[in-house]
A and B are shown apart, each in its own frame.
Chain A
Amino acid sequence: MDWTLIISRAAEAGIGTETVIYALAAIGLNVHFGYTGLLNFGQAAFLAVGAYAIAVTVSTFGLPFFLGVAIGLALAIVLALLLGIPTLRLRADYLAIVTIAAAEIVRLVVRAVALRDTFGGTDGLQGFSDSFYSLNPYPAGQYELGSIIGFDHRTMWVLTVGWVLVAISCFLIYLLMKSPWGRVLKAIREDEDAVRSLGKNVFSYKMQSLMIGGVIGSLAGFIFALSRAAVQPDLFSTELTFYAYTVLILGGAARILGPVVGAAIFWALLVLITTGLEEAVRAGVITFITTNQVGAIRFMLVGLGLMLLLIFRPQGIFGDKREIALDAR
């Protein structure tokens, strides 16, 4: 077994593109779930909107890249409005069902054969990331960070932009949650009726929270699309949302850095285990499973992890148990 490979893969995953994408997705969810207590099960839809906005603007319509970014941000706000209007006045489980349904609607629409000319069907779209990579300041080559981690120049550029976005988002959330506005959100999470009786427009606050979290989710979508230089509809399945939930709860909901730390630990652990298993199978140490089955084991572990976390440590690593909206109805 190649231990160096396993360790370096895990370390790369801990700061790699997956971590950036899921950290951003989870920061958005943190605004929804951690701070406002909104049970958004459709974060994948916001990522899909961001990713497809760039892809469709550039490769289908041949318009500039930054227009695609602007459209993506605008569409994330529109999606938040569309989701919020029917459900934010209703109980938490309605929002959960509607958001998960909306995520599936988005996925099914972009993979439809009838709209193949616009969205590319199940194959998705490519060839939209050239103007992003043309801004790349890193000369071509392999970059070694420390002795075990290495990225090529394209990944380095994606990671730089990605981590800057993560930092900006975290700082923004920090400022927002320190402000009176943020305190109203937390109050809504604790007791909606009390806030309403103080004369606050709860619906409007919830809607703003949904929009901000959704826009941060669409940033994750941008990075997702650019890091792969391609988009496919089935990347945005409901599993993505629940990975992001696992990341959020692992790190600790309602904490500024919870999602970031959660994402790093989640991906480092997950890659450590799956690469370890794959290597073990390849080296003949484990003989009763095949490398194909390792993919399934990965999802089983995430499911199991999510269950165990919620049951035994709902506050995650950094969270505070009193601060998590788990009993609301």
Chain B
Amino acid sequence: MRRAVIAFTAFLGGLFFLLTSSTAAAWAEGEGLKGTLKHQSQPVNGVKISVVDEGGDAVGDDTTDAKGEWAIPVPKAGTYKVTLDQKTLPQGVALKFKDRATLTVQVYEGNQRTVLFAIAAGGGGGPGDAETATPPSESAQYWTRVAQLGFEGLSLGLIIALGAVGLSLIFGTTGLTNFAHGELLTLGAFTAFVFNTAMGLHLLIAAPLAVAVAAVFGYAQDRWFWGVLRRRKTGIISMMIVSIGLAMFLRYTLLFFFGGQGRSYEQYVAQQGIQLGPISATPKSLVAMAIEIAVLILIGLGLLYTRIGKATRAVADNPALAASSGINVDRVVRIVWAAGTATAALAGILLGTTQNLGYQMGLQVLLLMFAGVTLGGLGTAFGALVGSLIVGVFIQVSTLWIPPEMKTVGALVVLIIVLLIRPQGILGRRERIG
């Protein structure tokens, strides 16, 4: 078994979690798939797991033993689908993510690939699980769910915020509503994916590399594309439609190269959840949230106290005045593009650790980013932050009352209602924007 997670996270109040769990590696001859099913560190036995190859032909199956372990040898390296038979799970235990009963994994030459299924107490955990065995009390359970959903919403909101800050700053400094911003997330996630799988780098190395590549891409994008259009005096609406064309082009270029199926990183695919009071969370999501908070605080401090941050706010306020007081507007815009693309890439990578990578992942977040930005006030960085957090929490908590598949609808409806009541957003200045 592989050496597993070292999680290190500094949470808002200064809470530190240090989790290490390592197990001795046990190598066997030939390729195979194996894993251990555990629930709250108790092995789960008698669960049937089967493997089929890419063509859908059965390769073999196994039942977890008293230690919760299973192993299925496969004939050669390749892609396999591992399915956990949910009916064989013992009473009171269920898959944490019901839609992830089948995982698609890649097995390399001579590799004993570990496949993990996240197990939760039957009914608890993710949204959409209704039945629970002998609840402690109705209201306590209700508040546990509220806490859990609020936590998940915060985690989603932070990812949205990371993307939305860049979107909002680009809008503030250039006036461009960038419909291709979602694709910047996807692009970042897939760049890390290439470093991670094709070049075999650990995700902890691949992710910063991808963010650096994204920063260069963002800079280049403004230097040789958007900047050129601005100098040609292309209208703001033209540029908006150009960004839609660019989004479509980037999205389907990714489809062209990576195909339509979901991908995942080599590391941190599935993790055992840990219980923090009423909330169950995976270590990776805590680390991701810590990174997001740290980056957002850095951006906030940078905007408030550094020279370039002040210059950025000046340009966002009034480009002509900023230019006449000696600020190099083009340079500021380029830095904003580089930083915005880099944070978008980071958001994409972190999103990719919690869900499958797909060519549409950015598009799905784009509207939520717009909702967050509009809610907070177009063009204000801090407004985008607040708005995104509200949107994220709202989306998750609303699943208490509406079906989970409709949660995005709820957020978008709220966006429209906000425009009716307070079009300048929560933190926007009250001014005529008609």
Q: Give the interface of A toward B (CB within 8 A).
A: 39, 41, 85-87, 89-94, 96-98, 100-102, 104-105, 108-109, 112-114, 238-239, 242, 245-246, 249, 292-293, 296-300, 302-308, 310-311, 314, 325-329
> Is B86's CB within 8 Å of the partner chain A?
no
9 residue pairs bridging A and B, Cβ less than 8 Å apart: A86-B416, A94-B374, A105-B412, A112-B406, A297-B252, A306-B241, A306-B245, A311-B242, A328-B237
B408 to chain A, nearest CB (A): 6
Also in contact, A306 and B242, with CB within 8 A (given A87-B419, A94-B423, A113-B403):
yes
Interface pair B244/A242, CB less than 8 Å apart: yes
Taken together as a complex, chains A and B put the C-alpha atoms of A326 and B229 apart, in Å, by 13
CA of A310 to CA of B434 in the docked complex: distance in angstroms?
A: 25
Q: Point out the residues of chain A lying under 8 angstroms from B235, CB to CB.
A: 326-328
A245–B419 CA distance with the chains assembled, in angstroms: 25
Do residues B408 and A108 form an inter-chain contact, with CB atoms below 8 A?
Answer: yes
Q: B253 near A93 (CB under 8 angstroms)?
A: no
Max chain A C-beta neighbours (<10 A), residue from B229, B256, B371? B256
Which residue of chain A lies nearest to B434 when distances are taken between CB atoms in the complex? A89
Find out whether the CB atom of A113 lies under 8 angstroms from the CB atom of B240: no
Q: B409 to A296, Cβ gap below 8 A?
A: no
Return the contact of B237 from the options A108, A109, A113, A325 (Cβ within 8 A). A325
Given A92-B237, A114-B406, 11 more contacts at CB 8 Å?
A89-B423, A108-B408, A112-B405, A242-B245, A292-B259, A296-B252, A300-B256, A305-B245, A307-B245, A327-B238, A329-B236
Interface residue from B247, B367, B403, B434 paired with A91 (Cβ < 8 Å): B434
How far is the CB of A296 from the nearest CB of chain B, in Å? 4
Q: Residue B248 contacts which of A41, A102, A302, A329 (CB distance < 8 angstroms)?
A: A302
Is B255 an interface residue when CB atoms closer than 8 A count as contact?
Answer: yes
* Interchain CB contact under 8 A, B433 and A299: no
Query: Which residue from A89, A296, A304, A325 sits with its C-beta under 8 Å from B245?
Result: A304
Chain A residues near B412: list those with CB within 8 A.
101-102, 104-105
User: A113 to B249, alpha carbons, bound, how many Å?
Assistant: 31
Judging by beta carbons under 8 Å apart, are A299 and B248 in contact?
yes
User: What separation, in Å, do the CA atoms of A109 and B235 have in the docked complex?
Assistant: 35
Q: Tally B residues with Cβ within 8 Å of A.
A: 46
Bound complex: CA A172 to CA B409 (Å):
35
Q: Mark B58-77, 1 if CB is under 8 A from A, else 0.
A: 00000000000000000000
Chain A residues whose CB sits within 8 angstroms of the CB of B311 once the complex forms: none
List of B residues within 8 angstroms of A85 by Cβ: 420
A90 touching B255 in the complex, CB below 8 Å, given contacts A242-B244, A242-B248: no
| A328, B240: Cα distance in complex, Å | 12
Distance in Å from the Cβ of A46 to the closest Cβ of chain B? 16
Are B405 and A113 in contact, CB atoms less than 8 angstroms apart?
A: yes
CB–CB A310/B248 < 8 A: no
- Distance to closest chain A CB from B88 (angstroms): 26
Selected contact of B253 from candidates A87, A92, A239, A300, CB within 8 Å: A300
CA of A87 to CA of B409 in the docked complex: distance in angstroms?
18
Query: Is B246 part of the contact surface with A, judged by Cβ < 8 Å?
Result: yes
Which 7 A-B residue pairings sit nearest by Cβ, starting from the closest? A303-B248, A306-B245, A303-B249, A326-B235, A327-B235, A307-B245, A299-B252
- Asked if B175 is at the interface (CB within 8 A of a chain A CB), the reply is yes
Instruction: Please name all residues of chain A whose beta carbon is closer than 8 Å to the beta carbon of B229 when the two chains form the complex.
Output: 311
A100 to B408, CA, bound (A): 13
Within 8 A of A (CB), among B193-224: none
* B252 contacts across to A, CB distance below 8 A: 296-300, 303
With a CB–CB cut-off of 8 A, which chain B residues contact A112?
Answer: 403, 405-406
Known: A87-B419, A327-B235. A104 touches B245 (CB 8 A): no
> Is B413 among interface residues, defined by CB-CB distance under 8 A?
yes
**B394 CB-CB contact with A under 8 Å:** no
Q: Check if B84 is an interface residue, CB within 8 A of chain A.
A: no
Q: B118 → chain A, closest Cβ, in Å?
A: 23
Report yes or no: A97 in contact with B374, Cβ–Cβ below 8 A.
yes
Q: Which residues of chain A come closer than 8 Å to B241, judged between CB atoms?
A: 245, 249, 306, 310
Please give me the residue from chain B that is nearest to A308 by CB atom: B245
Nearest chain-A residue to B406 (Cβ)? A112
Among A85, A105, A109, A297, max chain B CB count under 10 A is at A105
Could you say which residues of chain B place their CB within 8 Å of the CB of A314?
A: 238
Looking at the complex, which one of B177, B238, B409, B420 makes contact with A96 (CB distance below 8 Å)? B177
- Set of chain A residues within 8 Å of B251, measured between Cβ atoms: 299, 303
> Which of B242, B252, B413, B433 has the most C-beta atoms of chain A within 10 angstroms of its own C-beta?
B252
Known contacts A101-B371, A302-B248; A90/B433 CB under 8 A = yes
Contact with A along B353-386 (1 / 0, CB 8 A): 0000000000100010011001000100000000
CB distance from A204 to the nearest CB of B (A): 15
Q: Is B318 an interface residue (CB 8 A)?
A: no
Contact between A39 and B367 (Cβ–Cβ < 8 Å)? no
Query: Which of the residues B177, B247, B370, B408 comes within 8 Å of A303, measured between beta carbons?
Result: B247
CB distance from B188 to the nearest CB of A (A): 19
Give the residues in chain A near B232, CB-CB below 8 Å: 311
Q: How far is the CA of A39 from the CA of B409 in the complex (A)?
A: 22
Residues of A within 8 A of B363 (CB): 238
- Which chain A positions have C-beta within 8 A of B259? 292
In the complex, the answer to whether A39 meets B403 with C-beta atoms within 8 Å is: no
Which residue of chain A lies nearest to B360 when distances are taken between CB atoms in the complex? A237
A310: chain B residues within 8 A (beta carbon): 234, 238, 241-242, 245
Q: Tell me, in angstroms, the Cα distance from A207 to B327 when the chains sit together.
A: 42
